[in-house]
Amino acid sequence: MRQIFRSNSAPLAQTRRVFATLALAAALTPACALAANQNSGFYVDPDSNPALWVRDHPADTRANAIRNSIATRPMARWFGNWSGNIGTAVTVFVDAARAADKLPILVAYNIPGRDCGSHSGGGAGSPEAYRTWISSFASGIGNRRAVVVIEPDALAQLDCLAADQRSVRIGLLQHAAREFKARAPNALVYHDGGNASWIAADEMARRLNSAGARDLRGFALNVSNYHTTADSNAYGAAVAASLQRQFGYSKAFVVDTSRNGNGSNGEWCNPGGRKLGAGSQNSATGAEMLLWVKVPGDSDGKCGIAPNTPAGEFSPDIATRLIEGR
């Protein structure tokens, strides 16, 4: 996987307004509450890697384009073992979003054995440490509204683990699902479900079910990948239908559109010729939300068009290529 490895946090607002929309949402059914909150828009992270780069390089000729096309758009904040006290880091972020009357997007990315030891390898040092970490993450959200994607690639990469390690990982993901259900009851939480060309839909449905997807809002697709929204919607519908057929329930899904404007060329690690996709928004068909989960411009690793840029480090060259589609 390929994401943020710097510690950044949005400051707490000094004062908080009381928003009528929040009071209204609390009185609505869950589905209506979802719509009420999302209609107010998604949170723009003022301390995202692109935003920080723009602030630090005001004279750079690429700064205006990156500011206008990326840094001022709603996208996810990724949290992992670089985030310091996870409960505090999450609380600060969701409090800032609430003060702005916006819906924040968060990613939990700290599973032991993360990314099978590849470009974004790492994660919690033990299963016990992860259980504590993910419980604190969920508690940091509390009763506030948020969108959360749990552990990108964790289910799709089960095949790289030994049998006993697979069982441990499934148990950790089950724990995460239970903790978010209990500690963050108003959050919209999604297990990661890979992408349209990775794991067969029936198998992904089995993995999602084994990981406790029944307790969550649904599953997320195409995180940090490039498949078109149409292909992702078709795959998501197949996974949802398989959940219904095999286990008697279906789930909603969301799609990462941060870099899928030109679709996939079959490569995942900083391929050239990709483009920004549709911004974070509700979706009327297929996915219930299109989200910028991957931060555009953050490297996938030392590969492709950024052979010297580590995973999670922002590259203005990658960002500019995504803006221009080259």
Strand pairing partners for 281? 290
Within 136-275, strands assigned E span 146-150, 187-192, 218-221, 252-256
How close are the terminal C-alpha atoms of the chain, in Å?
22
- For the record, the structure tokens of 171 come out as 């148990």
DSSP, collapsed to helix, strand or coil, labels residue 231 as helix
For residues 95 and 93, give the distance between their C-alpha atoms in angstroms, rounded to a whole number.
5
Tokens 């400051």 belong to residue:
11
Q: Which one is catalytic: 95, 115, 192, 231?
A: 115
Helices (H), the chain: 20-27, 30-38, 49-56, 63-66, 86-99, 127-141, 163-183, 201-210, 229-247, 316-324
Tally of CB atoms within 10 A around 148:
26
DSSP 25: H
Judge whether 153 counts as a catalytic residue: yes
- For the record, the structure tokens of 44 come out as 């723009």
Judge whether 95 counts as a catalytic residue: no
For residues 30 and 301, give the distance between their C-alpha atoms in angstroms, rounded to a whole number.
39
DSSP, collapsed to helix, strand or coil, labels residue 289 as strand
Q: Which one is catalytic: 45, 231, 298, 300?
A: 300
- Are 186 and 224 a contacting pair, CB within 8 Å? no
Strand pairing partners for 148? 106, 189
For residues 65 and 281, give the distance between their C-alpha atoms in angstroms, rounded to a whole number.
21
Judge whether 101 counts as a catalytic residue: no
For residues 117 and 133, give the distance between their C-alpha atoms in angstroms, rounded to a whole number.
20
Q: Which one is catalytic: 45, 153, 231, 298?
A: 153
Task: List active site positions.
Answer: 115, 153, 300
